[in-house]
Amino acid sequence: MKSKDIKNLRQWFLSQRRDLPWREEPSPYAVWVSEVMLQQTQVAVVIPYFLRWMQRFPTIEALAKAPVEAVLKEWEGLGYYSRARNLHQGARDVMEQHAGVLPATVDELKAIKGLGDYTVGAILSFAFHQRKAAVDGNVMRVLTRYYGINENICLGKVQKKIRALAEELLPQEEPWIISEALIELGATVCMRKAKCYECPLKGECQAHIKDQTDRIPVKGAKISTTVLYRLVPVIACGDRILVRRGEPGKVMADLFQFPYFDITHADHDTSAQKELMKGALKKELSLSGVWKQELPQVKHSFTRYRACLMPHVYAVREEKVVPGFEWISLDDLRQVPFSSGHRRILSMVLEHGLPTLC
């Protein structure tokens, strides 16, 4: 990148950068938490989560000592919960291996759970002010357009090439400003639909000059989405509800859910759903409940799935033992972490109250 463009980028960033809470005091821990939260999540969504997180877990030690349920509860609603689990385990790694102080070398940081090339680069650059590039999707987009790179950015060799370009262009003086400026430019100007008229680099940007911003960056084929249809019985006995905790190693590990039964399609006929549910309750859970009401459908996405949840409320007379499940009071359910779609069902239950057999 030409020196005049680096100068223009710096001036643009210092005058236009957003006021973000993790920029106020960019401690290594704050940078780490913010960068993990920002992965696949918009800034506006992250800000309140970050503020609550830093209040609840102000230090690496506080995070390491917290039970995983408390960590996931604070993360509830952000999705991609493996990020929270990795942060938690990473904090424990730092306590055990580095006496609670985040290290400042590439090799030591990469040995911590969940820290990849981008997060390591961000910590070294923004927190320790080292001359290291932090290359996320925003930076990939800026640099592929600026240099006119027409190669698939999903390929490792192409990503390595772009990381090398990013590091080469960093100046010796205050390199962290340019590193963060590239991210800011991609997030606010060089977006999927580029705002080239606002860009400080448009004079030399090859994609802009050749009118190729809609074609660059080049990506591989999208991963197909699988649609899931699930009947979800909310089974109450008095003030307690039947739930299960996600199994370790699974997508929803340590997150609570109601029972659910997969069906082949979304049958919107309530009577048909009730009939399917009746059979599933008997066969899968050995329960016979009294149907009380149907709740509005809930749709949510996770990894490569899009789920349509069809909840129905049931009441039973006794808390029978159901392998893999547990009965938890409604008050206690308020305190435990739920997967996204099931949390919305719980909110409806909390709003309307529990049914009785009367």
Question: How far, in Å, CA of 70 to CA of 67, rounded?
Answer: 5
Same domain, 197 and 297: no
The answer to whether residue 35 is catalytic is yes
Residue 34's domain is classified under what CATH number?
1.10.340.30
Same domain, 243 and 345: yes
Question: Per residue in 27-59, pLDDT tens?
Answer: 999 999 999 999 888 999 999 999 999 999 999
Query: What one-letter code names the amino acid at 94?
Result: V
Mean pLDDT of 176-191: 96
Q: Which of the 8 DSSP states describes residue 296?
A: P
The answer to whether 352 touches 345, Cβ cutoff 8 Å, is no
Other C-beta atoms closer than 10 Å to the C-beta of 3 total: 9
The answer to whether 79 touches 340, Cβ cutoff 8 Å, is yes
Same domain, 197 and 322: no
Angle at the Cα of 297 (from 291 to 298), degrees rounded to 5? Answer: 125
Same domain, 76 and 198: yes
Instruction: Show which of 153, 180, 209 is a domain's final residue.
Output: 209
Instruction: Show which of 184, 209, 234 is a domain's final residue.
Output: 209
How confident is the model at residue 265, as a pLDDT?
73
Same domain, 260 and 175: no
Question: Tokens 């002010």 sit at which residue?
Answer: 129
- Answer yes or no: is 216 within a domain: no
- Answer yes or no: is 357 within a domain: no
Same domain, 192 and 107: yes
- Answer yes or no: is 88 within a domain: yes
Query: What one-letter code names the amino acid at 116?
Result: G
- Answer yes or no: is 217 within a domain: no
- Please state the length of the chain: 358
Same domain, 264 and 119: no
- Residue-range definition of the domain harbouring residue 60: 3-209
Beta bridge partners of 315: 236, 290
Choose among 228, 230, 237: nearest CA to 325: 237
How confident is the model at residue 357, as a pLDDT?
58
| Residue 74 Cα distances to 68, 228, 229, angstroms | 10, 27, 28
Question: Per residue in 62-91, pLDDT tens?
Answer: 999 999 999 999 999 888 888 999 999 999
Same domain, 69 and 112: yes
How confident is the model at residue 268, as a pLDDT?
66
Of 35, 74, 76, 184, the catalytic one is: 35
Tokens standing for residue 191:
């977006």
* pLDDT beyond 70 at 267: no
Name the average pLDDT for the chain: 91
The overall longest dimension of the chain from CA atoms, in Å, is 78
- Answer yes or no: is 219 within a domain: no
Same domain, 110 and 168: yes
**% residues pLDDT > 90 (the chain):** 72
- Answer yes or no: is 155 within a domain: yes
Mean pLDDT of 156-164: 93
Question: Per residue in 326-356, pLDDT tens?
Answer: 999 988 999 999 988 999 999 998 887 776 6
How confident is the model at residue 356, as a pLDDT?
66
Choose among 272, 316, 269: nearest CA to 291: 316
Residue 278's domain is classified under what CATH number?
3.90.79.10
- Answer yes or no: is 50 within a domain: yes
Same domain, 148 and 8: yes
Residues 6 or more apart whose Cβ sits within 8 Å of residue 82: 114
* pLDDT beyond 90 at 97: yes
> How would you classify the pairing of strands 226-237 and 305-315?
parallel
Same domain, 253 and 199: no
How confident is the model at residue 258, as a pLDDT?
95
How confident is the model at residue 309, as a pLDDT?
93
- Answer yes or no: is 188 within a domain: yes
Same domain, 59 and 181: yes
Domain count, the chain: 2
| Residue 341 Cα distances to 216, 274, 301, 328, 332, angstroms | 35, 20, 8, 19, 19
The answer to whether 231 touches 260, Cβ cutoff 8 Å, is yes
Question: Per residue in 290-312, pLDDT tens?
Answer: 899 889 999 988 878 889 999 99
Q: Quick one: CA dihedral 303, 309, 313, 315, positive or negative?
A: negative
What confidence tier does 358 reach under pLDDT thresholds 50, 70, 90? very low
**% residues pLDDT > 70 (the chain):** 98
How confident is the model at residue 302, as a pLDDT?
80
How confident is the model at residue 340, as a pLDDT?
87
